[in-house]
Structure 1
């Protein structure tokens, strides 16, 4: 899949990006204070990239890929700092309270910026205290199960769950993660019940599925792909609108009969609110250049990513629309803190 093809696929997403680009232009982004100095030499020192997940997860993988490109492009180190926990919001909290100079960035997934704020009390306001910089990618999740269950399709999984009500356990990286949103949507759509078992990260979830302690999860493709390729996890369906190049034989969740479960994780770049607008624009340009670079582009597309570079204003609008969309999903599914 080429970069252009990936961008065209993004238009298939149920929540059309074209409208959010227009909305972003209307909403705008926070302006820098007139008294604030504008550093013209960003980055003037090493930049830290905060990640709310353990090493090996989807956001960590993407952050390291971008960090390497940013370092090569600017001559400054971009250092990944993993701060897992609290539904991936610890890294967001650090970013919200950092110096307003663009030297603290955040690679975040939907979990911390669009989902957790609707479920837990935070020490910061997601929309007010964290500055949207740009969209990295929209990445599908993949429904995986223990390979020894003898289950090869979603239909077989539903049949198994109906025969064993309440006995199938699904793992997540926290109750505010997309794993939970998707699993609970699946429960509703299929008329089944699975039991939630939260973990601190995707890696431990996978270990326990492989060991048979739990049976399934809706993991992100970047996080699950290695264990799928190794034959340790059995993929049943991806949650994207179309099949993805790296898992061409795995049907979409809609093909499997459950279009209501279709969704994708937003991976995006943020910095501290109040960072001077020229610096935010410079970071946005650096990100969009990285997304067009052959190696970065290829790696992201291999993960099933749908790429849609955006301006700062356009992404601000899209970020807000995702926040509202997941809030609606959470209310409809009746998901509560700790569920």
Structure 2
């Protein structure tokens, strides 16, 4: 694999800074990348890309372990309770680290028990509907929901996920009502939309892309600031008249709180090297995600900002009360 000179330089500088012992001794065995969702979703897809790259860069076995459920917080909890040595990593979307802590009673403290490592990507969400509804636009959907109050059901991967935040924000912005139906992951949600059991969801582009390309799900808006290159005919939610529903999902790497700083910094440098690899970067871009390399301290600040930002959104919109 060919790495960019900046990535190679970062790894070399990190190795010198950490000293021979840490640089050579970590990892001291297989590394586990925990995912809080079922196989096939956005987090799982990105986690497998990360595991493949880390295996090459660290010259060690890196395995993905799916720990789905409870709005992705089971995986977060498993990581928070792991040995703080950097051998357990967690690929987190926004839900378990930025949203769920403000809505759910958790057995871990995001700010204390999970150590931010680095940003992988920011990915837009897409509003998809059942293709047989006769709905071709957001305006059509709003009209349908107003003509059939309470008849539209939206799916999510659990209470406290971005799916729910977006759907409830949309309900309020459009002055409509939809009924929340939680699922254990993206795949079963999509199956029931295709079957007509439920009618819509806001899902990440990586999770929905295959079914959209197959013509099984109809995309009617993306939540990114601009239209996506792979879906140029799908307007943004802002274009559709709902700027308050604009949101991108963070995918990032965390490890167990208390992990030694030199190990965290080496993991951050490894992620930076992966993001510099053209093939890896291209796969991320194909998801509609953006790539921005952040150092450890920069990402720690970004992670805290995301945590605070979602907390403010949830409090202002009173989403907890709206979703109960």
Is the shorter-chain TM-score for this pair beyond 0.5, marking a shared fold? Answer: yes
Aligned to 2:116, the other structure's residue is in SS state strand
Counterpart of 2:243 (choices 240, 254, 259) is 259
> Separation in 2 of the partners of 1:270 and 1:311?
13
Larger mean Cα displacement after TM superposition, 226-235 or 319-328: 319-328
CA shift digits 1:184-240 (9 cap, x unpaired): 000111111111111111111000000000000001100000000000000001101
Counterpart of 2:311 (choices 322, 327, 331) is 327
> Separation in 2 of the partners of 1:332 and 1:233?
32
Indicate the residue corresponding to 1:53 in structure 2. 37
> Separation in 2 of the partners of 1:145 and 1:71?
38
Indicate the residue corresponding to 1:5 in structure 2. none
The 1:327/1:252 distance shift into structure 2, 3 A limit, reads same
Indicate the residue corresponding to 1:183 in structure 2. 167
Indicate the residue corresponding to 1:135 in structure 2. 119
Indicate the residue corresponding to 1:31 in structure 2. none
Indicate the residue corresponding to 1:170 in structure 2. 154
Indicate the residue corresponding to 1:29 in structure 2. none
Indicate the residue corresponding to 1:23 in structure 2. none
Indicate the residue corresponding to 1:212 in structure 2. 196
- The answer on whether the counterparts of 1:170 and 1:196 sit within 8 Å (CA) in structure 2 is yes
> Separation in 2 of the partners of 1:263 and 1:166?
24
Indicate the residue corresponding to 1:32 in structure 2. none
Confirm or deny that 1:145 pairs with 2:129. yes
> Separation in 2 of the partners of 1:172 and 1:259?
21
Indicate the residue corresponding to 2:97 in structure 1. 113
Greater relative contact order structure (CA < 8 Å, 6+ sep): 1
Q: How does 1:281-296 map to 2 (within 5 A)?
A: 281-296=265-280
Aligned to 1:336, the other structure's residue is in SS state helix
Query: Deviation of residue 138 (structure 1)?
Result: 0.6
Confirm or deny that 1:222 pairs with 2:206. yes
Query: Deviation of residue 333 (structure 1)?
Result: 2.3
Indicate the residue corresponding to 2:28 in structure 1. 44
CA shift digits 1:76-100 (9 cap, x unpaired): 1110000001110111111111111
Aligned to 1:291, the other structure's residue is in SS state helix
Cα RMSD (Å): 1.2
- The answer on whether the counterparts of 1:38 and 1:276 sit within 8 Å (CA) in structure 2 is no
> Separation in 2 of the partners of 1:152 and 1:159?
11
- Normalising by the residue count of structure 2, what TM-score does the alignment of the two structures yield? 0.91
Unaligned runs of 5+ in 2: 1-20
> Separation in 2 of the partners of 1:297 and 1:68?
13
> Separation in 1 of the partners of 2:293 and 2:229?
20
Unaligned runs of 5+ in 1: 1-36
> Separation in 1 of the partners of 2:70 and 2:24?
35
Aligned residues: 303
- The answer on whether the counterparts of 1:39 and 1:101 sit within 8 Å (CA) in structure 2 is no
Q: How does 1:153-164 map to 2 (within 5 A)?
A: 153-164=137-148
Confirm or deny that 1:102 pairs with 2:89. no
Counterpart of 1:65 (choices 49, 58, 66) is 49
Indicate the residue corresponding to 1:241 in structure 2. 225
Q: How does 1:298-337 map to 2 (within 5 A)?
A: 298-336=282-320
- Normalising by the residue count of structure 1, what TM-score does the alignment of the two structures yield? 0.87
Query: Deviation of residue 177 (structure 1)?
Result: 0.4
